[in-house]
Structure formats: C-alpha cells, structure tokens
Amino acid sequence: MTFGADSIWGVRRVCIELLPDFLNKIKETETEQLIEGLEFLKCSLTDDSRWVKNQAFLQFGKAVHEVYLKAQMPNANKKLLQEKITEVSDSFLNLE
C-alpha cells in the first residue's frame, strides 16, 4: 500500500480505483493484507482530494464485497475480517 500514501492525489486515486481488483488477488489467509486494504479504503473516504474521495465512494461496495467473499472461505479469519468490514461500513455511514 505504499502508493496509497503518495503525496500526489492522482496516484492515490488510481490506487483506490484498483483496490477491488487488488483485494481479489489476495489470498483469504492473508488477513493482515486484506485489513490493510480496508483501512486504506477507510482513509480514502476522508482524503483531502475530492477526486480520491469520490473514487473511494465509487469503489466502496466492490472493495468491501471482495473482502466479504474472502471472509466466507474456510481458511479465512472470518471473525477478524467481519469486524473490520463492520468498522469500515460504520465509518462510511457516519461521514458528514
């Protein structure tokens, strides 16, 4: 997620745009990486750049769904992933 912390908003926007595809490639056993992806999504929802923020809103459902699908797999840390999904969803619903 190094590019997600880039100072150039265009790089962050592309990172969030590709986040669902990236999450799809991560194995269900790689809980830390999946959580990091959701954390990046959460941070992007409040980014200073409106372009990054808008892209985060567009990708929100797709990204959360990818992690949800991983959480349903037998080898996944279901409890931890579902807790993070709930946290990110709550932050989305409580945006002002």
Task: Look at residue 74 and tell me whether its pLDDT is greater than 60.
Answer: yes
Which parts of the chain fold into alpha helices (H)? 9-25, 31-44, 50-71, 78-93
Task: Look at residue 1 and tell me whether its pLDDT is greater than 60.
Answer: no
Percent of the chain, pLDDT > 70? Answer: 96
Task: Look at residue 17 and tell me whether its pLDDT is greater than 70.
Answer: yes
- Where does residue 59 rank: exposed (0-12), middle (13-18), buried (19+ CB within 10 A)? buried
pLDDT at 22: 96
In 3D space, the residue among 36, 94, 96, 95 whose CA is nearest the CA of residue 15 turns out to be: 36
Model-wide pTM > 0.85: yes
Percent of the chain, pLDDT > 90? Answer: 86
